[in-house]
Structure 1
Amino acid sequence: MKLGCLYIFIVMKTGFVLVTLGLASLALMGLFTDSSNQFEHQFTSYMTQFDKSYETENEYNFRREIFNKNLEIINAHNAKGFSSKLGVNEFTDWTDEEYKSMLGLRRQPLRSSQTLKTIKAKGEPELVSIDHRNEGLVTDVKNQGACGSCWAFSTVASIEGAYAKEHGELKSFSEAHLAECDKFSGGCMGGWMINGLLFFTQRGPITDEEYPYSLPLGTCREAELESNYESLPYAFRVEDDEDSLYEALTHNVVSVSIRAENDKFRHYQSGILDEEDDCGTEIDHGVTLVGYEADGDYWIVKNSWGGSWGNEGYVHIKRRGGKGICGINQDSAQAVFHQEDY
């Protein structure tokens, strides 16, 4: 015990706290036996897993306390046997304010006065499984970083799906292009997916290889680059109900809005978010609906927080009526090439 504590103290005094194999080995040898030291071991293992380091002893202690609090929330939830399971991720040592900064859905005045077509259900649908990942319409999970640009990632995912379906080739388009150049949105301060889609009805997208995403966001570089892709013909809204959302999904991926400012979404790891999770309906985050699983009756949703979050970057949300679990039935939109298909 003393050796373990002394080791931590020596590392702290260097002014830069790092996880080392030596400390992890001491923990694994059983030198930490009480609950406090078990938390210590879990925290150091967490730091190793997510490559965390802290510059001062105060910062280390501050982040450890946040981690311990969140770990108690995670363990308490998992002990109740819910259909969803929570786990640690790169946000487990973040403050609530830092986490909230990534939730950038902001409804704003429409950038166009045109009347937008609304996708509506054609009666009660016959529900069968859909997974647009298997159809080559979904790029790999991306990571928006510590920035409220979720709206841009959701928008671009819809554009990627529409172009892949139209041209038979999946391209990874630039979120930075949209986040830096759409004057109707606020970049890391938030935006709205329908305005993002309308942005692309006025110009073609640019690949993220040509216009890479990096933080902090900068000034628009659109004038320096030339898009090799046509502008989007249409941007459609989706009626706010679960049948209309399914109808839209039968055509392609959908930009959707959810409530993410809650512990259940923040720490989600696997399983299905349903009524037991009570994640709220006041939408604040943009994600992408890519599929529906009939065996389990749940939506398959792509997030933009990297592959280490959730179920390899995805979350499963139970299909329900009203505003939907986590508010998913509200405020959805889709990129469209052929309106006669609807």
Structure 2
Amino acid sequence: MAKLTYAKLRDDLIAKNATWTAMETEVSRLPNLKRKALLGVELPAGFKMPTATASVSAAAPIAGLPTKVDWRNRNGNHVTSVKQQGGCGSCVSFCCVAVTESMASIEHGQLLDLSEADSHFCSSHGASCGGWWHDQCFNQIKSRGVCDEACNPYTAAFSGNDIWNGTPSCKSCTDRNSRAVKITNIHTVSTVAAAKQYLANTGPLAAIMEVYTDFFSYSSGVYRKVSGVLEGLHCIQVIGYDDSAQCWICKNSWGANNFGEAGFFKIAYGQCKIDDFAKMGCTGVKLPQKKGWKGYESLGGKITSKPNAVSWGANRIDVVARGLDSAVHHRWWNGSAWLGWESLGGLIHGAPAISSWASGRLDIFAVGTDYQLHHKWYQGGWSNWEALGGQLSSEPAAVSWGPNRIDIFARGTDSALWHLWWDGSWHGWESLGGVLTSAPTVCSWASGRLDIFARGTDNKLWHRWFDNGWSNWENMGGELFDSPGAVSWGKNRIDVFYPGRSYRMMHRWWNGSSWSGEEDLGGKLSSGVGVSSWAANRLDCFVSGMDSAMHHKWYD
């Protein structure tokens, strides 16, 4: 068959009174094999080609649906810019990623720029320009997600940055997984009526169409095949419909400057088997979790003290508090769910303290009804309680800075800070002075380093530390309404929390060179703050709320 020239096509359009116009485009000028390479729909094994549509006559408007839908102007724009797939058969990734981008805008109000290179070259498809199927592409977005364009730029995926002639490879950024957007649901739409309902009520769709030679020269209007041969199958995004023009409104991936209506086109209902191949959509877009504060979440229980927490390893948290029966109660996070509460017995004053010096090791300390310190530990099973003496007027604080090392601090009956420690045997008590009006808290960011915080008689936050010797007390200001909590997630890093004005949680941190100002984290606290960390930049805060339940706020 003779090549379809632009002059021949123009004559055919006039002769057949066509509803669209043509122009010479970047794609129409490509050699035949290069053009065919753009059509990257590959039928799955065993797929049966649909028969030709019985009728391409006008599809009647559907009662209750608008006669026109266009997601570029439907309570705002929800269609991202037209992109350029170049000389690669990656149209399936371009149309499925475009649908995902639109749904992110519809569901979350964010117009994202996602990576077609990540979808096509780094997924199960493999690093090639070979074809694919829209169902397979959506399933990869559901299981592994698709990262943002900045993480894996399309042009940079090709040798020489040449999207027309280069060889593709997978070049994802190192934090790709934490930047991936996923989908929850994949929808298959098989009829014109169902497609209109989906477009009107949910969002855009990915569609498969046959491409004939004349389509490469499309400029404007409603496309109907006029002349040329079948070149292959193509995946495009359907962004709407227009019953008055009897057409689908679509977004292509052949660039915005030299194809169609700024990269968009219209195609008549039933043309080129667009209504014979099932269309597909997605919902339930899951955006990457951004770093920052989350919560408060209620963890239930009825507690009568500040909760205290510790982590012995990644994604593990153990929390203890006094219950209504004045016993110690324990709840823990195992990486996937909160478990407990379990009662550990005892009859205590104030909050229990908890520390850990090894994976699977927990040490709990509490003041008994005799005002002495009592100790219970877990290492494969719970011990009985042992008495460690002292005469205390506050709940204790405990920390470990290395294997088999524990340091405990509490306010004595003289309101001074007192210290007891374990290094294989118990030592102390020693008085560290000061006049405390709250229980102390303690953290450690290195072997042999201890940082103590407590409220003074002026209701300010006071700090004392040990590093080859005890410092003096320093006044850090603020206004505390209960005892503070402190933790370190790395060398020379300290985070301190306390109830401030109106019993809201306040936060200050040391970054190795200076103290921050107060950060207001909100909430309505009825206790001091317990805090733990199981990774760099991870903080888990626990408080008693006004409902006496334990509440959790975290940063990651």
**Higher mean C-alpha deviation, range 130-139 or range 72-81:** 72-81
Question: Alignment partner of 1:169: what SS?
Answer: coil
Aligned twin of 1:73? 8
**RMSD over aligned Cα atoms:** 2.7
Name the counterpart of 1:304.
Answer: 253
Instruction: Mark the CA change 1:137 to 1:266 in structure 2 (over 3 Å): closer, same or farther.
Output: same
State the match for 2:113 in structure 1: 172
Tell me if structure 2 keeps the 8 A contact 1:131–1:292: yes
Q: Distance in 1 between matches of 2:249 and 2:78?
A: 14
Whether 1:227 aligns to 2:227 is no
Residues 80 and 113 in structure 2, CA contact (< 8 A), matched pair in contact too: yes
1:326 maps onto 2:272 in alignment: yes
Percent of residue pairs identical: 24
Q: When the two structures are superposed, what TM-score results if normalisation uses the length of structure 2? A: 0.43
Deviation at 1:127, TM superposition (A): 4.7
Q: What does residue 118 of structure 1 align with?
A: none
* Structure with greater proportional strand content: 2
Q: Look up the equivalent residue of 1:106 and give its one-letter code.
A: E
Change (3 A) 1:186 1:226: closer
1:142-181 equivalences in 2 (<5 Å): 142-181=83-122
Match for 2:40 among 100, 104, 111?
104
Rounded to whole Å, the distance in 1 between the matches of 2:150 and 2:174 is 16
Shift in alpha-carbon separation, 1:263–1:208, aligned structure 2, 3 A = same
Match of 1:273 in 2: 223
Structure 1 residues 250-287: Cα deviation after superposition (integer angstroms, max 9, x where no partner): 21010111111x1221111111113x637889961000
**Equivalent AA in structure 2 for residue 175 of structure 1:** E
The secondary structure found in structure 1 opposite 2:282 is strand
> Which residue of 1 is the match for residue 214 of structure 2?
264
Paired position in structure 2 for 1:291: 240
Any residues of structure 2 matched to 1:42-121 within 5 Å, and which? Answer: 70-80=5-15, 81-108=17-44
> Could you say which structure has the greater relative contact order, defined with CA pairs below 8 angstroms and 6 or more residues apart?
1
Structure 1: distance between partners of 2:228 and 2:222: 12
1:335 shift after superposition: 1.2
2:138 matched to 1:197?
Answer: yes
Figure out how many residues of one structure are paired with residues of the other and give that number.
253
How does the TM-score come out when normalised to structure 1? Answer: 0.67
- In 1, Cα distance between the equivalents of 2:204 and 2:113? 14
Conserved? CA contact 2:127–2:168, under 8 Å = no
CA distance in structure 2 between the aligned counterparts of 1:305 and 1:235, rounded to whole angstroms: 25
Residue deviations 1:289-320 (CA, integer Å, cap 9, x gap): 0011233121111000001111211111112x
Shift of 1:231: 2.1
Higher helix share goes to which structure?
1
SS at match of 1:93: coil
The answer (yes or no) to whether the contact 1:205–1:227 under 8 Å persists in 2 is no
Unpaired stretches in structure 2, ≥5 consecutive residues: 47-60, 159-166, 286-556
Structure 1, unaligned runs of 5 or more = 1-64, 111-122
Where do 4+ consecutive residues of structure 1 move more than 4 Å? 278-283
